[in-house]
């Protein structure tokens, strides 16, 4: 049983990091496709929305 714990933690870590990376990539592409004047407000809103 103690051998299962590190495996579960690494799997959980991988899932969390992959989700985090996909969210960041999606935000980055949305950020690139928005017009320049809206970029600043979207960036500030996304910072407060997620964290």
Give the Å distances, CA to CA, from 18 to 25, 26, 28: 10, 12, 15
pLDDT of residue 21: 94
Where helices occur in the chain by DSSP H, the ranges are 4-33, 36-50
Which tens digit of pLDDT belongs to each residue from 20-29?
999 999 888 8
Decide if pLDDT at 50 tops 60. no
Which tens digit of pLDDT belongs to each residue from 32-45?
776 766 767 777 77
| Structure confidence at residue 19 as a pLDDT band (50, 70, 90) | very high
pLDDT of residue 1: 46
DSSP-assigned letter for residue 35: -
For the entire predicted model, the pTM comes to 0.46
* Cα–Cα dist 32/51, whole Å: 21
């Amino acid at each position: 049983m103690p051998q299962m714990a590190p495996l579960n933690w690494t799997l959980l870590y991988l899932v969390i990091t992959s989700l985090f990376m996909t969210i960041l990539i999606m935000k980055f592409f949305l950020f690139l496709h928005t017009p320049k004047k809206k970029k600043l407000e979207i960036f500030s809103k996304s910072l407060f929305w997620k964290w």
